[in-house]
Amino acid sequence: MPTRAGPKRKRRNYSSRSINRAKLERKRSPTPMHEIFEFVERSTRVRSVMRLALPILALLTLITQAQAQSREVIGQTGLLGEWELTATVTARTADGLTEFVGPMTMKHVGICTQDGPEEKTGELRLHMSESQSRVTATLLIEGAECTFDGTRASSFEGLMNCSDRRSVPLTLWIK
């Protein structure tokens, strides 16, 4: 028998196992078309999730805005902090400026009250700066107009100025 010169050729084994392995390896290696199909499938899932999420996000935004439109204000005024102030204010926009307006009650909580605590009612108008580091307010207390200009620390602190009496410290907490 004649012999061939050169390297020996390896005989290929075409058993069913090797064919199945080759098919699996082809399936694992992504083709450009395979990647496109996966991308479309992923983006379809994202779109369906977004269809569900967008109405929920819109509803949450409306709820948050509704809550942001109404605020509770508490405070104390007087040289000894003997007056307690409470108000619930609601946002009102006029001429492009937002102000918070609402009814206010001031109650004298000092120890020198005789026939129960004295109460005064009125209206509170708040204007907050863009950075919310400063607040100006107008307090209408039983017909008298007082002004307040406060800066933020842990609360808004400043002086309440009324035309018919001397200035007194006022501290406000806005929730």
Task: Kindly provide the residue ranges of all beta strands, DSSP E only, lying in the chain, ordered along the sequence.
Answer: 70-77, 83-94, 97-108, 119-128, 134-141, 144-152, 156-162, 165-174
β-partners of residue 92 are 99
pLDDT over threshold 70, residue 153: yes
Residue that has been written with the tokens 């064919």 in this structure: 19
Cα–chain-centroid distance for residue 34? 42
What are the pLDDT digits (tens) for 65-121? 545 578 899 999 988 888 999 999 998 887 777 889 999 999 988 777 677 778 999
Between 13 and 133, residue with greater pLDDT:
133
Query: Does pLDDT of 137 surpass 90?
Result: yes
Give the global pTM. 0.58
Top-level CATH class of 69-174? mainly beta
CB-based contacts of 53: which residues, under 8 Å, 6+ apart? none
Q: Where are the domains of the chain?
A: 16-68, 69-174
